Amino acid sequence: MPHRRRTVYATLFATLLGVAVLAAAAGLATVYLGLYNVAASEQHFKPVYQLLESAMHQSVKLRARSSVDEPPPFTETMALRGAGCYRDQCLQCHGGPGVAQGDIGKSMQPVPGPLVDAARRWSTKEMYWLTRHGIRMSGMPAWEHRLDEEELWSTVAFLQRLPDLDVAAFKAITLEQVDAARSAGTIATCGAARMAAAPPAMGNAVLGRQALYQHACNACHMIPGVTGPETHVGPSLAGFALRSNIAGVLPHTADNLERWLREPQAVKPGTAMPAMGLSPADARHIAAYLAGLK
């Protein structure tokens, strides 16, 4: 290689390296000196906001394309069931035609927008993916451990109906029609199906691990394999499989563990461990995961 060209390459390399080091230093300073303001009372800078929005959109599109099955045919009953789920679970953050969101939804950053036009911006599969998996670090919860498969699609069926509903029609369907159909037994209360469904014969530890952080167990317990804050509100679950009793009151068997997980207050009245609203299936999956903590 001629000497001159070598010098040009060396200079180019040194410049790029310099820029990379400076960028890394600026990034680290922003993080460790606390320069980035995380207050929810401040907005993102416009470029940061746009970058996050684009990343979110592309991520949803990619995953919805590859992982969501074809939707079932939508029926009137599904739309009505979805209207009930929307009223119970989504209205507080997203509001609806003529209905403001609750205080939680109003003051969140990013603000959960109205879903009136969601069906214009997202495909059916994308709306299902968003509802099932949520959006991490935005405050949009994942609903797959609260709603069953039929309810997830029913909610999407309702979101598709939403652009055509005026204020009066929205009120009529989410209030009167849902209540009437629930008292007549045509549709069930949202989430009731999951709680009533029999658990699978065998728990699945992979689903159990997900259920652990979807039910906020890691807010109080340190759990090997589950990322979460350093917390000592409840005992660490490391080595739990080897323990001979549960919470000092029950012999450690699989059945007793599921019972404890679903109704700790009934097993040990006054215990600081709250009932977390686990479905029988989630309790079985979590028990399968805990059985591996040796």
> What is the binding site for ligand HEC (CB under 6 A)?
56, 85, 89-90, 92-94, 104-105, 108, 110, 112-113, 115, 118, 121, 127, 130-131, 135, 138-141, 143, 155, 212, 215-217, 219-221, 233-235, 237, 240, 243, 246-248, 261, 268, 271-274, 276, 278, 286
Return all residues near 20 (Cβ < 8 A) that are at least 6 apart.
none
Cα–Cα distance list, 73 to 69, 77, 134 (Å): 12, 11, 23
Distance CA 266, CA 65 (A): 44
**What's the CA angle centered on 203, arms 86 and 189, to 5 degrees?**
20
Q: How far is the CB of 62 from ligand HEC (least distance, A)?
A: 15
Q: How many CB atoms lie within 10 A of CB 99?
A: 15
Q: How far is the CB of 69 from ligand HEC (least distance, A)?
A: 18
Q: How far is the CB of 5 from ligand HEC (least distance, A)?
A: 49
Q: Which is nearer to ligand HEC, 172 or 238 (CB)?
A: 238
Q: How far is the CB of 267 from ligand HEC (least distance, A)?
A: 9
Distance CA 61, CA 274 (A): 37
Q: How far is the CB of 8 from ligand HEC (least distance, A)?
A: 45
Q: Which is nearer to ligand HEC, 18 or 239 (CB)?
A: 239
Q: Which is nearer to ligand HEC, 171 or 268 (CB)?
A: 268
Question: Tokens at residue 195, please?
Answer: 């709680």
Q: Which is nearer to ligand HEC, 15 or 253 (CB)?
A: 253
Q: Are 148 and 194 in contact (CB under 8 A)?
A: yes
Q: Which is nearer to ligand HEC, 18 or 163 (CB)?
A: 163
Q: Are 250 and 256 in contact (CB under 8 A)?
A: yes
Q: How far is the CB of 180 from ligand HEC (least distance, A)?
A: 21
Distance CA 164, CA 179 (A): 21
Q: Are 43 and 110 in contact (CB under 8 A)?
A: no
Q: Which is nearer to ligand HEC, 181 or 260 (CB)?
A: 260
Side-chain half-sphere exposure of 226, counting CA atoms within 13 A? 31
Q: How far is the CB of 20 from ligand HEC (least distance, A)?
A: 30
Q: Which is nearer to ligand HEC, 201 or 272 (CB)?
A: 272
Tokens 């906020």, located at residue: 216
